[in-house]
Chains A and B, each alone.
Chain A
Amino acid sequence: MSAFSTTVLAQPEQISELTGQLLSFLEQQEVEPRAAHHVTMIVEELLTNIGTHGGCADQPVRLDIAVEPTQVTGEIVDRSPPFDPHEAPHPDLDSSAEERNVGGLGLFLVRQFASSLEYAHRNGENHTRFVVPRG
């Protein structure tokens, strides 16, 4: 098993730098492009949510990624107010382009592409764990 661990501030430029590093790491580990994309997208969506809605863009967030033979797992630990990503509202997916609201897709994508999404609040920290299958 190979691991990628780091801390990051939940701000767009720092998140972008991190996702570039994570994509390179997953490619080096020969993770399939689909899984590599979706793992990295989930990381960006969760971090962006912490920075914007969690109001914690100035506190380091911990990220751990583990590449396993059949799946990639990730855990994000942050100290923003308790927030369970399952509770985000379902976005509007069916309206025409003219009528459709432009927001609300981020956590929907997390829920769609993670085969497992677990949340716990412990010792003042949010622990969000996700799994993306390989292949």
Chain B
Amino acid sequence: MDIMEEQVGDMRVVVVSGRLDGAASTGFAEQVGSFVTGDKPKLLLDFGGVDFVTSAGLRAVLQIVKRVKASGGVFALCSVRDPVREVLDISGFTAMFSIHPGRSDAVAAMAG
């Protein structure tokens, strides 16, 4: 699993790739969680390179979402592959945050 972070305006964009599975999930939650700083953080995870997710990965995502929301911030995903999207949908995650088709859509929606 690879995690790369960049600042785009007032938002943190984290590009994730690889398998978000039981072995990777704890490190993922800790590393991405460390990017959630300050008041009302904006965090976008670009999942374009994530080709596999399990319940452990969903748990890690939920921990990060909780952290962002506890600080009054905004969390979103973009570029999610179809099988991963299906898992998010069926787990009720799509109702908890926005999932944008691509990064430019997400940046535009979160800029306001």
Contacts and interface: CB of A to CB of B under 8 A. Distances in A.
Interface of A: 12-13, 15-16, 19-20, 23, 33-34, 36-38, 40-41, 44-45, 48, 93-94, 96-98, 100, 102-103, 105-106, 108-109, 112-113
A114 B63 CA distance: 27
Contacts of B22: 12, 15-16, 44, 48
A40 B84 CA distance: 12
B62 interface: yes
13 contacts: A13-B23, A15-B23, A37-B84, A38-B86, A40-B52, A41-B52, A41-B53, A102-B63, A106-B55, A106-B56, A109-B87, A109-B90, A113-B90
Interface stretch (B36-44, B91-99, B100-108): B91-99
Q: Is the interface of A mostly helix, strand, loop or mixed?
A: helix
B94 to A, nearest CB: 11
What secondary structure prevails in chain B residues at the interface with A?
Answer: helix
A16 B55 contact: no
Interface of B: 19, 21-24, 51-56, 58-59, 62-63, 65-66, 69-70, 81-84, 86-87, 90-92, 95-97
Contacts of B97: 97
B83 A34 contact: yes
